[in-house]
Amino acid sequence: CGGILTQPTGSFSTPNYPDEYDNNLRCNWTIQTNSSVTLTFLDFDVYSDHDVHHDCSGDFVDVFGG
């Protein structure tokens, strides 16, 4: 799950979208471009149960620049 994206426009999603993805799935996408990038989240639903997951092991998204 994941990959390197190099086109000037496009989209990506988790496997089985819009259905649920497998437990413990880790997806990493790298966007390689010589210009600025705009990320637009059209549908965003993450699971987090802070009563159970004190170690931040729920769903999350990280965005890094550089």
pLDDT tens digits for range 40-49: 999 988 776 6
Q: Tens of pLDDT along 17-58? A: 999 888 889 999 999 998 899 999 999 887 766 655 556 667
Domain residue extents for the chain: 1-35
pTM above 0.75, yes or no: no
Using alpha carbons, list the distances in angstroms from residue 53 to 47, 49, 58.
Answer: 11, 6, 7
CA angle 5, 8, 13 (to 5 degrees): 45
